[in-house]
Structure 1
Amino acid sequence: MARIPAPVAAVRTAVRRGLADLPSDSLVLVACSGGADSLALAAATRFVAGRRVGLVTVDHGLQEGSDRRARSVAAWARDAGFDPVRVSTVTVAGLSGGPEAAARTARYAALEAAAGELGATAVLLGHTRDDQAETVLLALARGAGPRGLAGMPPRRGVFRRPLLDVARSDTRKACAALGLAPWEDPHNTDPAYARSRVRGAALPALVAELGTAVVGNLARTAALLATDNEALDELAAAALEQARSGAGLSVPALAGLSAAIRGRVLHRWARELGAPGGALAYGHVTALDALVTDWHGQGPAFLPAGIAVERRDSDLVRVVPALTK
């Protein structure tokens, strides 16, 4: 029997572990752009899954010929035995954030919709260990806290990332070993995008100075912080319930919490009030915290989506800002 190339085995093993808890009769969808990471993921999933495996490719319409690329990926998937196969065309214009964020929002919405319509148990994404390291560096550059530095979770909702412990070089080698020709996304080398600059310059510079282990170490940092975040979030959820008052949140209850837990409680409460998570920044939570820890009669703290919170006696309460004439 021919020996399975190590990169092919690495991807298949990761996928097998990522699917181990799913019912054998469940439908799994692979999100595939045609790039090396998602193509290797798709091939491995089709090989190891003792279940129906479908594939979804998303056409963002941001590049000339993107529709042809999507149809080509779909044709390969049908020939390879994926069923169902879907091309989801999305509109990015008008979505908030920069081009990368808008495309990501549209893509995830399309994938989640496809999973719901097709009855899929999971949607597999092809993010690798290198992607995780890049995410950590970008979070550091933004001054993100532990939540941002925890990077991409292996699982969230219907989405799963089985390749977070697999090197990007192994997905490329796996494609070569299997005779697959991946698509090279020009956005991945376009310096207009922050992630492309990290991928093409920042991370390679760190590797050159600190050694190849830096990629795995950054990804490991994300995994360690994710575990800590999970524990802190559980504590914060309980503390939020205990801090509730008839008007809003009890200031004495909040003041008795450690800073780490109080910040998470205020962040959760702000989300409950309707502040979008993507727009809720460190400064917003700090302003809420000042109403508890640095109270000197200041006015309300203003959150995204026009939300205002003020301190009234011993409570934090949401208020309706007065309209200016």
Structure 2
Amino acid sequence: MSGPDPAVAAQRSAVRAELADLPPGVVVLVACSGGADSLALAAATAFVAARAGLLAGAVVVDHGLQPGSAGVARRAAEQCRGLGLDPVEVITVEVGPAGPGGGPEAAARTARYDALREAATRHGDAVVLLGHTLDDQAESVLLGLARGSGARSLSGMARRRGRLRRPFLAVRRDQTERACRVLGLEPWHDPTNLVSDAAGPLRSQVRHEVLPVLERVLGPGVAEALARTAEQLRQDGDLLDELAGQVLLAARSAGPAGDSGADPADGLDVVVLAAAPPALRHRVLRAALLAAGVPAGALHRVHIEAVDALVTDWHGQAGVAVPGGGQVQRRYGRLTVINDRERGAGSGGSFGHG
């Protein structure tokens, strides 16, 4: 008797490896859109979970942004139930307006991830599996490169982040489509992913126009090379983040003259910051700004460099405005961030908190 199709077997193996650390009885939820990637993930998860003693279900998020989206969500849920997943939820979300630094796609993503995290909480801190593939990772790296983003963006999507896991980051998109054909699943094809001209989403244009050109000019294997680059940069970035965390802690706790025991509410010590290499200092400042409430999607390198100048090129200049209505100021050898309300009251902010 022959074994499963190679694509199906590889996807089951990927899920098995991703769930190997979970004890029996843990709930695993597949985020299923009805597309080939998430349906193939649902099938692989149903197979693996049943043999590992895990409780496997699915969450289908209906963004309500396209005609007939409710029917697509129902069909995705039906196929998940047919695979043996239970519970299967369809959650309709309201996509809010695009925030600073993000368009409609970012707003939809925020609503989707919020819904997934809430579902995970309802089901006992469940693990949530996402169907992003190697192709998605390669597209993310190219988009980050084109935007001039730093290593953080070029490192692509993390395999794990909190409850979220991505078992298919080494799986090609055409293999998920093959798995669906072999297993008799009927994936939904998002029309926005099929648009390759300027009217479509930027990611879709990268998928249909940019990557094929790179493959034709540079030869096959470009997507795999981009994914490998992302993994290498993520490893480097994780180490830098750890080191930056140590610098941030030191900058928070150092006193005005470098002694320990300062109140963290007093901000960050510029002597400690100035002694750090630029790569670490920039990460420290970014982490501190995010902890102070600056929106991540609106925080760009130009803001970090402007704040960094308060440390490395100090000549009594005024504070630096940052997204979200805050302002970073240097006072008495420390950086502090204050918002509009605090400026009116003349009080300091919470740059040091995190």
Give the TM-score, by structure 2 length.
0.89
The aligned residue for residue 33 of structure 1 is 33
1:57 and 2:65 equivalent? no
- 1:46 and 1:53 in contact (8 A); partners too: yes
Report the CA distance between 1:313 and its aligned residue. 3.3
- SS for the counterpart of 2:298 is coil
Report the CA distance between 1:6 and its aligned residue. 1.0
User: Are the structure 2 counterparts of residues 313 and 113 from structure 1 closer, same or farther at C-alpha, using a change threshold of 3 Å?
Assistant: same
Residue identity in the other structure for 2:274: A
Report the CA distance between 1:174 and its aligned residue. 1.0
Distance 2:201 2:240 in 1: 33
What is the percent sequence identity of the aligned residues? 54
Report the CA distance between 1:2 and its aligned residue. 2.0
- SS for the counterpart of 2:296 is coil
- 2:267 and 2:335 in contact (8 A); partners too: yes
1:194 and 2:194 equivalent? no
Report the CA distance between 1:166 and its aligned residue. 0.7
Distance 1:318 1:75 in 2: 51
1:171 and 2:176 equivalent? yes
Unmatched segments (≥5 aa) in structure 1: none
Q: CA RMSD in A?
A: 1.3
The aligned residue for residue 8 of structure 1 is 8
Give a deviation string over 1:101-138, Cα, whole Å, max 9, x none: 11111111111111111224310000000000000000
Give a deviation string over 1:244-296, Cα, whole Å, max 9, x none: 24421111111110000000111111112111212111111111100011112
User: Are the structure 2 counterparts of residues 128 and 224 from structure 1 closer, same or farther at C-alpha, using a change threshold of 3 Å?
Assistant: same
Distance 1:66 1:221 in 2: 36
Distance 2:183 2:292 in 1: 51
Residue identity in the other structure for 1:237: G
The aligned residue for residue 82 of structure 1 is 85
User: Are the structure 2 counterparts of residues 120 and 251 from structure 1 closer, same or farther at C-alpha, using a change threshold of 3 Å?
Assistant: closer
Could you tell me which of 67, 88, 113 is aligned with 2:118?
113
Residue identity in the other structure for 2:7: P
Could you tell me which of 281, 289, 299 is aligned with 2:300?
281
Report the CA distance between 1:95 and its aligned residue. 4.2
Unmatched segments (≥5 aa) in structure 2: 256-261, 345-354
Distance 1:7 1:69 in 2: 25
- 2:97 and 2:104 in contact (8 A); partners too: no
The aligned residue for residue 214 of structure 2 is 206
Residue identity in the other structure for 1:232: L
- 2:39 and 2:80 in contact (8 A); partners too: no
- 2:46 and 2:56 in contact (8 A); partners too: yes
What pairs up with 1:62-141 in 2 under 5 angstroms? 62-96=65-99, 97-141=102-146
- 1:28 and 1:120 in contact (8 A); partners too: no
- SS for the counterpart of 1:278 is helix
- 1:29 and 1:120 in contact (8 A); partners too: no
Aligned pairs, how many? 323
- 1:31 and 1:56 in contact (8 A); partners too: yes
Residue identity in the other structure for 1:18: E
The aligned residue for residue 276 of structure 2 is 257
Runs of 4+ displaced beyond 4 Å: 320-323
- 1:275 and 1:305 in contact (8 A); partners too: yes
Distance 1:120 1:43 in 2: 22
Residue identity in the other structure for 1:261: L
Report the CA distance between 1:99 and its aligned residue. 1.6
Report the CA distance between 1:94 and its aligned residue. 2.4
